[in-house]
Amino acid sequence: MNTQNPVLLYDGLCNLCQTSVQFILKHNSKENIQFASLQSDFGKELVKNSTLPANYAESLVYVENGDVFVKSDAALKLAKHLHGVWKIGSVFLIVPTFIRNPIYDWVAKNRYRWFGKKEACWVPNATWKTRFLD
């Protein structure tokens, strides 16, 4: 599976993840980021063809130019595609992953408890539907 644009895989059942995707959609003025849930056929196939374990759902998965990033690397690499002040988030890539990822893991571990969980994946509106690869 090869796409021209960066792809973000997210947990389609997680309220925090869905809200984050909606935030990215609003702040990615170039509209170059594409999305798929980890639960989708596209998401499962992309994970299967990567070095990630099968049924991976522990974090965001961000793919750009064939490179796969997870956890805080995924979030911060993605930030460079946002407009305005959000773009500077990528500067935190200078912080070592052994510092960043435990914070990411803590939030990821508690995301359902803090933000809730859906029974089914969020369906984007007609305006955003073309950005999804499901």
What separation, in Å, do the N-terminal and C-terminal C-alpha atoms of the chain show? Answer: 12
17 confidence band (pLDDT: 50, 70, 90)? very high
pLDDT at 128 over 80: yes
**Position 36 in a domain:** yes
Q: Is residue 124 one of the residues assigned to a domain?
A: yes
Please say whether the dihedral angle defined by the alpha carbons of residues 59, 63, 66 and 71, taken in this order, is positive or negative. negative
**Residue 112 located in a structural domain:** yes
As a whole number of angstroms, the distance between CA 122 and CA 93 comes to: 29
Name the domain count of the chain.
1
Q: Provide the domain limits for residue 56.
A: 7-129
pLDDT of residue 58: 79
- C-alpha–C-alpha distance, residues 12 and 67, integer Å: 22
pLDDT > 70 fraction of the chain, expressed in percent and rounded: 98
pLDDT (average), residues 94-115? 95
Q: What global pTM score does this model have? A: 0.89
* 116: Cβ contacts below 8 Å, ≥ 6 apart: 15
Mean pLDDT over residues 92-114, rounded?
A: 95
Residue 1 lies in a domain: no
Q: How far apart are CA 35 and CA 19, in angstroms?
A: 13
3 has a pLDDT exceeding 70: no
In the prediction, which pLDDT does 22 show? 93
Let me know if residue 134 belongs to a domain: no
